[in-house]
Structure 1
Amino acid sequence: MYEQIKLLDYLATRRSVPAFQMCEPGPSKSELEDILKLAVRVPDHGKLAPWRFIVYRGDRRAEIGEALLSMALVKRPDLSEDMIAVERSRFTRAPVVIGVVSTASAHAKVPEWEQVMSAGAVCINVLMAANAHGYVANWLSEWFAFDSDAFPLLGIQPGERVAGFIHMGSTTFPITERPRPSLDDVVTWVGGDD
């Protein structure tokens, strides 16, 4: 019962922290392994594991940011100085970025949509496992998640899709609440009187 109350408290206050508000320290390699072991415990019809992880750490993050900036400038040569700084820092805002890659594909028994939803479930589990280890996290999809020209740089194979990039680290900012949907707007009751 004690654990149930703690989990309910966590779910009632769970909140993502913006990546630009993150700082060191981030999770160590062993903590990341523990986080990912928890993350894979998701619904997975057919036991296909239709997703994989790419962990971006260290100096490689800055190199990726420079390459993404170059790609962005080709597409939009009139980028403002502020946007140049944003593009350059895409992978350095947080100490660790985990790419969650959907490997969903046609299957005789498991619809591709179920495989895609399993990748989404992995993303939320990464967030919750990072929080359980004392880190803040944020699930983002940026322009390069949908740009196949960026995929080789990011380690994404042909036919794969990005479910999201999970940024994680620490923060010195207060974690504030944001508006949530009213149940009246998102729930339809079918049957039952109570």
Structure 2
Amino acid sequence: MSLLDIILTRRSVSSKDMCEPGPSPEQLQTLLRAAHRVPDHGKIGPWRFVIFQGDARAAFGRELAAIYQAENPDAPEKALELQKSLLLRAPLVIAVISTAGPHVKVPEWEQVLSAGAACQNILIAAHTMGFGAQWLTEWYSYNDKVKNLLNMEPHHRVAGFIYIGSFAEKPEERVRPSLEERVSYWGQ
């Protein structure tokens, strides 16, 4: 497949449909190198990556469940069990943290976009390797206690949790918004 074919056929695979095996250590390094190759005005690297694999996924899930329970004291046990299992949906989860902030030369918006581009490069690289991937931002992406768990500074934001793994069935193509309705030609 050409790179263009890869981009044109990239499709999110639901994290609930993922299974082992996940990327090998070498493949993980390739995914991270791909994420690191995004446009980065000023070469400041306004992002960082937190890797969840193996037992760390369940340990983080227990932390999520504890935070969820503290904030939702009447939550049923089933909801707490769901929180514990969130990162177990895929063999590998990469949290992409946007560290965008005030800079003398680089507008903050460009830094935020760079973190988004890092997420997209991970998705494309995973697809190229034959893995399924899904970029999610669920409640824990916006929670201050979770930000503390991830050692984030107050101005940092989670760009996304990227779930990566194998999948048994290729996902069906989904209906996409009309491209023609989203394109205009200035001056015409």
Q: How would you bin the TM-score normalised by the shorter chain?
A: over 0.9
Q: Indicate the residue corresponding to 2:183 in structure 1.
A: 187
Tell me which of 136, 143, 147 is aligned to 1:151. 147
Q: Say which SS state the counterpart of residue 90 (structure 1) adopts.
A: helix
Alignment RMSD, CA only? 1.6
Name the stretch that deviates more: 8-17 or 99-108. 8-17
Unaligned runs of 5+ in 2: none
Q: Indicate the residue corresponding to 1:17 in structure 2.
A: 13
Superposition pairs of residues 81-100 of structure 1, within 5 angstroms: 81-100=77-96
Tell me which of 49, 52, 70 is aligned to 2:48. 52
| 1:103 maps to 2:105 | no
Distance in 2 (CA, whole Å) between partners of 1:78 and 1:184 is 47
Does the CA contact (< 8 Å) of 1:54 and 1:155 recur in 2? no
Letter in 1 for 2:47: W
Letter in 1 for 2:23: P
Distance in 2 (CA, whole Å) between partners of 1:74 and 1:173 is 38
Distance in 1 (CA, whole Å) between partners of 2:148 and 2:23 is 26
Distance in 1 (CA, whole Å) between partners of 2:24 and 2:3 is 24
Q: Indicate the residue corresponding to 1:61 in structure 2.
A: 57
Matched residues, percent identical?
48
Q: Say which SS state the counterpart of residue 115 (structure 1) adopts.
A: helix
Q: Indicate the residue corresponding to 1:124 in structure 2.
A: 120
Does the CA contact (< 8 Å) of 2:11 and 2:171 recur in 1? yes
CA deviation string 1:60-90 (max 9, x = no partner): 1101101111111121233345433321111
Does the CA contact (< 8 Å) of 1:68 and 1:88 recur in 2? yes
Does the CA contact (< 8 Å) of 1:127 and 1:138 recur in 2? yes
Superposition pairs of residues 66-77 of structure 1, within 5 angstroms: 66-77=62-73
Unaligned runs of 5+ in 1: none
Report the CA distance between 1:129 and its aligned residue.
0.9
Does the CA contact (< 8 Å) of 1:62 and 1:91 recur in 2? yes
Letter in 2 for 1:130: A
CA deviation string 1:132-161 (max 9, x = no partner): 122111111111111111123234344321
The structure with the greater share of residues assigned to helix is 2
Q: Indicate the residue corresponding to 1:175 in structure 2.
A: 171
Q: Say which SS state the counterpart of residue 87 (structure 1) adopts.
A: helix
Distance in 1 (CA, whole Å) between partners of 2:32 and 2:162 is 12
* Equivalenced residues, count: 188
CA deviation string 1:103-141 (max 9, x = no partner): 111111110000000000000001111111221111111
